[in-house]
Amino acid sequence: MLSECKSKLTEKKEWLARLELVPPKHVRLKFCKVGTLQYISHLDLQRAFNRILVRACIPVWYTQGFNPHIKLVFSTPLSVGSQSVCEYLDIRLSRDISFEEIKRRLNAEMTDEFYILDAYTPENDFSQIAYASYEIRIHTAGASDELADRVKNALTAAPINMIKKGKAGEREIDIVPLIKSVDVAYDGENKEILIKTVLSASSSQYLNPEMLISALKERTEILSGNPTAEYYSIMRTELKKEDMSEFF
């Protein structure tokens, strides 16, 4: 442990000796958060990245002032209980380091359920995110082609009025206009209902996929049986811009 600390201290001294970048270099990290890591909150995620960046000896840029800290800018936050293979984080570097080296160092401090997929110079702003693609798998009693049809009809028959909580309080909204597309099928091999959907994900019109589950519980009999035998999972698979091209 002591030798590891000395090694990291040496690394830090090495990159501090490098020429400082003015202005700092912007880097975008694409990362994966799946498995049990789906249950950590956004605040916990921020704390984890702060520690990981320091442990990996990444020459991150710190804000100026009385309380210097690493500047982390995340894309559309992911709800607790949802998994994702397309999360993004922007950081700034005070010294130059290759993208491959950033990825290698960070992944050495991360896990099989939480790791960096790519590191690169960002070309798009997070404000350009308009939609998010999801795969929702529902393991429920009575799963069948007939139930899959009922689920699709329930998600496309307007209105679906739900209570949405925001900073200004609670308000009732019809979520159907926020569903860009939805495809539902019965997965006979896994005996599950598979929903592939694209939902609004802009800052002003974000639709939490959990709302679809709540709506289906009200409109169909899914997840109404034994809670120890029935379950569902939500996986965010892609972020998209207004023209439906992939965000990166």
| Segment 175-192, tens digit of pLDDT | 999 999 999 999 989 999
One domain for residues 113 and 44: yes
In a domain, 29, yes or no: yes
Largest CA distance in the chain: 66
Region 167-177 average pLDDT: 83
- Determine how many CB atoms are found less than 10 A away from the CB of residue 154: 17
One domain for residues 35 and 62: yes
Q: Is 19 exposed, middle or buried (0-12, 13-18, 19+ CB in 10 A)?
A: exposed
H helices within the chain, ranges in order?
Answer: 2-16, 42-55, 99-107, 145-156, 210-219
One domain for residues 105 and 174: no
Looking at the predicted structure, is the pLDDT value of residue 3 above 60?
Answer: no
One domain for residues 119 and 159: no
CA–CA dist 129, 124 (Å, integer) = 9
Contacts of 4 (CB under 8 A, 6+ apart): none
In a domain, 46, yes or no: yes
**Identity of the residue numbered 28:** R
Q: What is the Cα Rg of the chain in Å? A: 21
Region 68-95 average pLDDT: 92
Across 12-21, 61-70, 97-106, the highest mean pLDDT is recorded for 97-106
One domain for residues 18 and 50: yes
CA–CA dist 224, 139 (Å, integer) = 11
Give the model's confidence band at 6: pLDDT under 50 very low, under 70 low, under 90 confident, else very high.
Answer: low
One domain for residues 154 and 195: yes
Do 108 and 56 contact (CB within 8 A), yes or no?
A: yes
Residue 174 structural domain: 127-240
| Segment 129-156, tens digit of pLDDT | 999 999 999 999 888 999 999 999 999 9
Of 67, 94, 123, which residue constitutes the final position of a domain? Answer: 123
One domain for residues 209 and 177: yes
Domain with residue 198: its CATH number is 3.30.70
In a domain, 245, yes or no: no
One domain for residues 6 and 100: yes
In a domain, 247, yes or no: no
The pLDDT value given to residue 4: 52
CA–CA dist 71, 93 (Å, integer) = 10
Write down the mean pLDDT value for the chain: 89
Looking at the predicted structure, is the pLDDT value of residue 12 above 80?
Answer: no
The pLDDT value given to residue 33: 96
The number of folded domains in the chain is 2
One domain for residues 203 and 159: yes
Domain with residue 102: its CATH number is 3.30.70.580
Q: Is 201 exposed, middle or buried (0-12, 13-18, 19+ CB in 10 A)?
A: buried
